[in-house]
Amino acid sequence: MKKFLLSICAVAMLLPARADEGMWIPMLIGKNYAEMSRLGLTLSAEDIYSINNSSLKDAILHFGGGCTAEVISKEGLVLTNHHCGYDAIATLSTVQKNYLDNGFWAKNKSQELPAEGLSVMFLERMEDVTSIVKTSIGGATGKEFTKKFDAIAKELSDEAAEDGKYVANVKEYFGGNQFFLLVYKKYTDIRLVGTPPKSLGKFGGDTDNWMWPRHTADFSMFRIYAGKNNEPAAYSASNVPFKPKHHLPVDASGQDEGDYAMIMGYPGRTNRYEVSYGVKLSINETNPAIVSIRDKRLEIMRKHMKGNKAVYLKLTSSYSRIANYWKYFIGQTEQLKRLNVVGEKQEAEEDFSMWARENDLKNRSLMNEFEEIYENYTPYAKHGVYFSEAFRASTLTKLASSMGPLAAALKKGEDADKIKKLTEDAQKGYKALMKEYDAGTEKEIFAAMAKMYYNNVPVDQHPSVYEEVIFKKYGKTDKAYTNYANYVFSNSFLANEAKFKAFLKNPKLEQIENDPAYIYTQSFVKNFTEKYAPKIETFNNEKKDLHRRYVKGLMKMNPGKKMYPDANSTMRVTYGKVAGYSNSEGKKFNHFTTLDQAVAKYKPNDDEFDMPKELIALAKKKDYGVWADKDGTLHTCFITDNDITGGNSGSPVINGDGELIGTAFDGNWEAMSGDIAFDKKYKRTIVCDIRFVLFLVDKLGHAPNIINEMDIYK
């Protein structure tokens, strides 16, 4: 389709190369170029990644540490997901100015709102430092490997950072068989430009989460501001919009089935080289534990959020984070079973062992070694989950844990400067944690988590506080946990902001050590760190050593095959096509959804399926403006067969000409095994159509100023 500029003034085991599978290193994307061109890419490899010239990588940024975003104008305008901007939007909101529920659109730059604590990073360059790192590490294994790697990584990173000008780190790839130095530039003056109301940004709620069809307007917009010479600077009214090396033009002409689709972003973690023993442990032990704990936490939070807008605004961001991966682990477990991933991995491991017996004698018993370490670790796996997910669920336990360094310094009689620094750190930590603190919610979570920990972690692994304090004081009954929680929250200075501030003015060791929240917390921490953390650390070190050997063996076993490393929160490129699918029951799903379908789901004042009356009116009149598809409807979302995972949220979906066609925000239920095993048949990426974004900015936000600064083609 001919387009014109628009302006409006109002490795499965080996992980082989496939068009739809693979999270490829952008610096090395040239090896995939022929296949990408065959599928419809018109750009050069240099157009995608270059350190000497402007390229697509310069428009892609790591957003807030856990998402991706893209620059879409020459004035630093940024597009990401609504759920990626959710915390910043909620933090900026009050009951009186509720941007989260009502939406927000800056009609000029002076109206843009500083998002305190939010930052973005641009990748400046990557450098293969494998030979340097391997020379430094030598033949080290276990703790010694980690120690030597940390030392050389710090040396390389410190040098590349140039005294704080850049952020730099060294990352492991292919299980520690390859290493790259990554150098970033970090910007911290980020301002909210626009967001749809939550009813649209989270349309479908938990019910539609991870599902297709989908109609969610999962987007938000921010702007990067810079100081002199376009360099990073702390927030200042004198800062100016950032001038990017590259920004993405927008293709508003629409997508057809089979069109080329490419995604660049920061996928968090995949574990596709995981062995069958690890998958079994996830299915049988760790995933069910995580789901059970989070289910209870969400139940308690919902009760306290309902009907209290102030509490809702405090907890909603935390609730969303917990709920997202609560449902994820349910789906992952279900799909791992459906796909018989354990059985498939066992077959692949048999093939590897047969090959190793003839070609790699060092690894001929590697699978037996894996089996042994998992057998030794399994009795403690659930304890690790309950310590991180249940014990640390309460803000009060986090606060009490943070008192440890100050208590140790007071006990040692450290000098006044040291104590002052620690009290300042404690104040900062307290402020950050109290952003999401509601006493009623926290008290109930504290009691529920204490009970779940006791009932689900083996008795011989319990901390002493149960028998020596809780049951001794309140008896071994269900009410004991609630009664104990009431006592702790009533008597801990950590649960009272005024008492905490008074303590910081004159901190005393006795006050910390006699605090009931600190006593409770220290019992758990001491029990875990002395008895179980060493077992978990030993397992992780042993697994890492075996994993490194396994991946290296797979590469030797299959020379000449294109391989991609597991995701590790570094920039990757994935390519494929716009594609519908049929599920396991034969039901056909189109590659797109429409606003008419969304309106059909509408439930007035519902927590999940409400929508603004103005949008209903626009839909009834078919007032889609220039954003309608050639079929006359307004497309809301579409799907591709790209390979993404958590961290890719907000990633740009780019056509063959390097233009933005949407922003990725989710995966589909049928393929939730994807972090461990890629499902070639069902895997889909769910994308918010850029035309839906522009329609909402235009017709609902009435913000032509935002649209006019983009390069939009139709």
pLDDT at 5: 65
pLDDT at 15 over 80: no
352, 374, 375: which is closest to 363 by C-alpha?
Answer: 352
pLDDT at 20: 73
Query: Token digits for 100?
Result: 């989260």
- SS3 state at 78: strand
pLDDT at 4: 60
CA distances from 580 to 181, 213, 600 (A): 38, 10, 21
pTM of the model: 0.94
- Rounded CA gap, 694 and 221, in Å? 11
- SS3 state at 6: strand
Q: Using one digit for the tens of pLDDT, what is the confidence trace for 375-400?
A: 999 999 999 999 999 999 999 999 99
Contacts of 633 (CB under 8 A, 6+ apart): 594, 595, 596, 624
- Rounded CA gap, 515 and 492, in Å? 6
Distance from the Cα of residue 538 to its chain's centroid: 27
pLDDT at 423: 95
CA atoms within 13 A on the CB side of 48: 30
**pLDDT > 70: percent of the chain:** 97
Q: Which residue has the tokens 């890719």?
A: 648
pLDDT at 197: 98
- Rounded CA gap, 139 and 142, in Å? 10
Interval 682-705 mean pLDDT: 97
- Rounded CA gap, 434 and 441, in Å? 13
- Rounded CA gap, 156 and 168, in Å? 8
Lowest mean per-residue pLDDT among 11-15, 199-203, 690-694: 11-15
Q: Name the band, by pLDDT with cuts 50, 70 and 90, for residue 114.
A: very high
Q: Using one digit for the tens of pLDDT, what is the confidence trace for 578-606?
A: 999 998 888 999 999 999 999 999 999 99
Instruction: Let me know: does 219 contact 233? Beta carbons within 8 Å.
Output: no
Q: Residue 106's CB: how many other CB atoms inside 10 A? A: 19
Q: Name the band, by pLDDT with cuts 50, 70 and 90, for residue 633.
A: very high
CA angle 164, 167, 170 (to 5 degrees): 130
pLDDT at 2 over 50: no
- Rounded CA gap, 368 and 413, in Å? 51
Q: Using one digit for the tens of pLDDT, what is the confidence trace for 26-76?
A: 999 999 999 999 999 999 999 999 999 999 999 999 999 999 999 999 999
Q: Using one digit for the tens of pLDDT, what is the confidence trace for 530-589?
A: 999 999 999 999 999 999 999 999 999 999 889 999 999 999 999 999 999 998 888 999
- SS3 state at 472: helix
- Rounded CA gap, 490 and 469, in Å? 16
Q: Residue 111's CB: how many other CB atoms inside 10 A? A: 14
Q: Name the band, by pLDDT with cuts 50, 70 and 90, for residue 12.
A: very low
- Rounded CA gap, 316 and 318, in Å? 5
- Rounded CA gap, 123 and 183, in Å? 6
- Rounded CA gap, 595 and 691, in Å? 11
pLDDT at 263: 98
Interval 188-197 mean pLDDT: 98
Mean pLDDT of the chain: 95
pLDDT at 270 over 80: yes
- Rounded CA gap, 553 and 539, in Å? 21
Catalytic residue list contains 83: yes
**pLDDT > 90: percent of the chain:** 95
- Rounded CA gap, 143 and 540, in Å? 10
- Rounded CA gap, 80 and 586, in Å? 34
Q: Using one digit for the tens of pLDDT, what is the confidence trace for 175-191?
A: 999 999 999 999 999 99
pLDDT at 19: 45
Measured over all CA atoms, what is the biggest interatomic distance in the chain, rounded to whole angstroms? 78
Phi, psi of 260 (to 5 degrees): -65, 140
Measure the CA dihedral 75/81/82/83, to 10°: -140
Interval 671-691 mean pLDDT: 95
Instruction: Let me know: does 663 contact 693? Beta carbons within 8 Å.
Output: yes
- Rounded CA gap, 55 and 47, in Å? 5
User: What domains appear along the chain, each with residue ranges and CATH number?
Assistant: 5-119+188-271+566-713 (2.40.10.120), 276-550 (no CATH)
| Candidates 62, 82, 83, 591; catalytic one | 83
Q: Which string of b and e fits 182-202 if b means at least 16 CB within 10 Å?
A: bbbbebbbbbbbbbbbbbbbb
CA distances from 633 to 594, 662, 686 (A): 7, 17, 19
Find residue 241's DSSP bridge partners.
Answer: 225
pLDDT at 585: 86
Interval 459-466 mean pLDDT: 98
Interval 193-211 mean pLDDT: 97
Find residue 223's DSSP bridge partners.
Answer: 77, 191
Contacts of 400 (CB under 8 A, 6+ apart): 492, 494, 515, 517, 518, 520, 521, 522
| Candidates 20, 58, 189, 218; catalytic one | 218
- Rounded CA gap, 676 and 12, in Å? 8
Q: Using one digit for the tens of pLDDT, what is the confidence trace for 342-361?
A: 999 999 999 999 999 999 99
Instruction: Let me know: does 235 contact 114? Beta carbons within 8 Å.
Output: yes
Query: Token digits for 113?
Result: 């709102």
Q: Name the band, by pLDDT with cuts 50, 70 and 90, for residue 10.
A: very low
HEC string of 254-291 equals CCCCCCEEEEEECCCECCCCCCHHHHHHHHHHHHHHHH
pLDDT at 14: 43
Query: Token digits for 288?
Result: 């069910």
260, 339, 266, 330: which is closest to 298 by C-alpha?
Answer: 330
CA atoms within 13 A on the CB side of 600: 8
Query: Token digits for 297?
Result: 């936490």
DSSP states of 392-458 as a string?
GGSHHHHHHHHTHHHHHHHHHT--HHHHHHHHHHHHHHHHHHHTT--HHHHHHHHHHHHHHHHHHS-
Query: Token digits for 344?
Result: 């498939």
584 sits in which H/E element: none
Q: Using one digit for the tens of pLDDT, what is the confidence trace for 228-239?
A: 999 999 999 999
pLDDT at 475: 97
pLDDT at 7: 53
CA distances from 14 to 332, 370, 419, 551, 652 (A): 21, 18, 53, 9, 27
Instruction: Let me know: does 184 contact 62? Beta carbons within 8 Å.
Output: yes
- Crossing angle (nearest 10°) for helices 439-456 and 366-389: 140
- Give the ranges where 79-197 is alpha helix by DSSP (H): 82-92, 99-102, 130-137, 142-161
DSSP states of 11-64 as a string?
---S----SS---B-GGGGGGGHHHHHHHT--S-HHHHS-SSS--GGGGEEEET
Distance from the Cα of residue 152 to its chain's centroid: 28
